[in-house]
Amino acid sequence: MALLIHILAFCGGFVIMSMELLGGRILAPYFGSGVYVGGSIITVFMLSLSLGYLLGGRLSVNNPSLTRFAGIFALGAILLYPLILFAEPIMEFIFLRIEDPRYGSLVASAFLFILPTVILGMISPYSVRLLVTKVEESGKVAGTLYFVSTLGSAIGTLMTSFYFILWFEVNTVLTLLTLVLLVVAAVAVVAARR
C-alpha cells in the first residue's frame, strides 16, 4: 500500500515536469522562444501547483481513501488530454487578440496548463494524508514523499528532454503521459477494492 502510493506520487511528479518541458515546444510556434515564454510557463506551473497543494490538503480532510486518490489521477488525465486536441485553436485565438508575446504566452500557458497542473498538484498533500499514521512520523513521511515525487520530476525532465523529443512527436508524448495517469489510477482502484 505505502509502496503503491509512492509509485503513484513518482508518476505524478514525472508527468508534471514532462508536461512543463513540452510546454515550451507547444507555445513556440505562436509565441516564439524568448525568455518570457519559459517565464510564463514556469509562472503558470508554480501558481497551479501552489493551488493544487492547497486544494489537495483540503480534500484530504474528508474521508480520505485510495479510491479518491485514484480519482485525482483520472481527472488529471482527463484534463491533460485536451491539450492534444485544442492547443492549436486556443493559441491561435489568443495570438490574434494579444499582440505582446509576453502576455500572449502567459495567457496561453494559463489556458493550456492550469487545469491539469492544479489537479496533479493535489497528489502530494493527499499522499501525505494517506501515509501518515503517527504524528511523530509525519515529517519523515512527508520527506520521503517529496523525495520520491521530486525524483519523478527530475527523471521526467531528463527523459523528455534527452530522449522523448527524439523518439516521439509532442502529441505522442502527451498521449503517453495521459495513459500513465490512467493506468496508475486503475491500479490504485483495483488495490483499493482488495
Partner 1 sequence: MNQIRQLSVQWIWGLLFMLLASSAEAKILHEERSVYTRIIVQDSNRLRCLKFTLKRDDSTQTCINLNHPKQLVFSYTKMSLASLLLQPNPRRVLIIGLGGGTLPMALRDIAAEATIDTVEIDAAVVRVAKNYFGYVEDEKNRAITQDARVYGKRAALRGLEYDLIILDAFNGEYIPEHLMTVEFLQEMQALLSDGGVLVANTFANSELYDYESATYAAVFGEFLNFRSPATGNRIIIVPQARLTADQRSELSAEAMQARAEQLQTALEPYDVPITAYAKKLVWLSKRQPDWDIDAYPLTDQFSPANVLNSR
Can you give the binding site for partner 1, defined by CB under 8 A? 25, 28-35, 95-96, 99, 101, 162, 165-166, 168-171
- DSSP helix/strand/coil, 132: coil
The minimum distance between CB 44 and partner 1, in angstroms, equals: 19
- Asked if 29 contacts 108 with a C-beta cutoff of 8 angstroms, the reply is no
> Which set of grid coordinates corresponds to residue 82?
485536451
- Asked if 27 contacts 41 with a C-beta cutoff of 8 angstroms, the reply is yes
The minimum distance between CB 25 and partner 1, in angstroms, equals: 7
Q: Which is nearer to partner 1, 20 or 126 (CB)?
A: 20
Q: Which is nearer to partner 1, 32 or 139 (CB)?
A: 32
If we measure between CA atoms, which residue out of 132, 137, 113, 84 comes closest to residue 20? 113
The minimum distance between CB 167 and partner 1, in angstroms, equals: 9
The minimum distance between CB 84 and partner 1, in angstroms, equals: 10
Q: Which is nearer to partner 1, 4 or 165 (CB)?
A: 165
Looking at the chain, the number of H-run helices and the number of E-run strands are 9, 0
